[in-house]
Structure 1
Amino acid sequence: MSEHEAEHTGPDPARVGLHFLSVAHQVRQEVDRHMAAAGLSLARTKMLRLLAERGTLHQAELADGLGQAPRSVTQALEALERLGLVTRTGDERDRRRKVVTLTGRGRAALAAGERAGTERLRQLFGSLDGRRLVGLETLLTALDAAGTGTD
């Protein structure tokens, strides 16, 4: 047995990591499915949430805030505009730039989508007993710190 093998007598970190990614993906899909049934996908919710938090934004600012390419955001915004959830108008100083504003209908859709997502997360994670939930939170905090180098 090599020295490296002797150090790792427990579960393989890569295998555990892949399992985590698989479960995280399943949870994300499940939450998205419930949110979409309430009328708003997780991706669209993120876009509307950013508008609700920051107010009116240029499309480029919205794309930057979401970490997406402006072209990707444009297509999503066109769909949201058709649904009456946002308005897009030309910037008064530069008509080539679009300004995006959340509508009242958009705020209502955002609230409904977030309620559906929160409810599903409560169902999924509420199935864990308190000790396991605290343990999971501790592990996720440690992983977050390790991933960002703030440990």
Structure 2
Amino acid sequence: MNVSGSGDPERERLIAAVTATEAELQRTLARGQSPLFDSGLTMQQLRVLLLLGADGPHAQSELAQALAVGLATVTGLVDRLVRRGLVARTRDPQDRRVHRAALSDEGRDLLAGIQSAGQERRRRLLGSIDIDALRGLAIGLDALRAALEADIR
């Protein structure tokens, strides 16, 4: 099914409506209270924490590759996260030249708090939606997930 640039007026109207709603949701969420916004983390620092939280310890060169930045940039990011107590840096036991970064207990706690607050808010909001609208949202999100998976292959 060709969806991008299809010229279907209804599809284009719906895409514009979804895009506008997403933008409004982002603006509204940014004004709210959240451990994420209260953390003082930059987006790149958050990405480092999320990578370490999802995949475990990384060599700094692996982080640089995953973030598509240079090693010097990652070194600075990790340095700041180490100073904040969110990341611990160690030498790789197999190759002492390699520095590995891992979440500290404080880093794990911060990520858990951010995720928990987000899940609780999402659950509360979804619980307030009419059941038919919730069914439609579930179907739409499944379709979006499938499109994303197809897009990254």
Matched to 1:34, the amino acid is: S
Structure 1 match to 2:3: none
Equivalence for 1:113:
114
Q: How many residues align?
A: 143
Q: Partner amino acid for 1:50?
A: L
Secondary structure at the aligned position of 1:12 is classed as helix
**Cα distance, 1:27 vs structure 2:** 6.3
CA shift for structure 1 position 116? 1.7
User: Tell me, which stretches of 5 or more residues in structure 2 are unaligned?
Assistant: 1-5
Give the TM-score taking structure 1 as reference length: 0.67
- The DSSP-based 3-state class of the residue aligned with 2:85 is coil
The residue identity in structure 1 corresponding to 2:35 is M
How many angstroms does 1:111 deviate by? 1.6
Q: Which amino acid aligns with 1:69?
A: V
Report the alpha carbon displacement of residue 81 of structure 1 after superposing the two structures with TM: 0.8
Q: Looking at both structures, which has the greater relative contact order when contacts are Cα pairs under 8 Å and sequence separation is at least 6?
A: 1
Tell me the distance in 2 between the aligned counterparts of 1:46 and 1:118. 18
Q: 1:58 to 1:16 in 2, by over 3 A?
A: same
Match of 1:127 in 2: 128
SS class of match (2:34): helix
Q: 1:36 to 1:18 in 2, by over 3 A?
A: closer
State how far apart, in whole Å, the 1-side matches of 2:47 and 2:112 are: 12
| 1:9-58 deviation digits (Å, cap 9, x = unpaired) | 67624423432441453366367x51235647594555334323432211
Distance 1:9 1:62, change over 3 A: closer
Paired with 1:58 and 1:9, the residues of 2 have a C-alpha distance of 48
Which deviates more from structure 2 when the two are superposed, residues 15-24 or residues 111-120? 15-24
Letter matched to residue 59 of structure 1: Q
CA contact (8 A) 1:59 1:98 kept: yes
In structure 2, the residue corresponding to 1:128 is in which secondary structure?
A: coil
- Give the alignment's TM-score, normalised by structure 2: 0.66
Identical residues among aligned pairs (%): 29
Report the Cα distance in structure 1 between the residues aligned to 2:150 and 2:53, rounded to whole angstroms.
30
| Mapping 1:1-150, distance limit 5 Å | 8=9, 12-23=13-24, 25-26=26-27, 29=30, 33-36=33-36, 39=39, 43=43, 44=45, 46-65=47-66, 67-70=67-70, 72-92=73-93, 93=95, 95=97, 97-149=98-150
Q: Deviations over 1:89-141 (max 9, x none)?
A: 3445252x421022122222222222122222223333312221221121122
CA drift of 1:59 comes to 1.8
Q: Is the 8 A contact 1:48 1:110 kept in 2?
A: yes
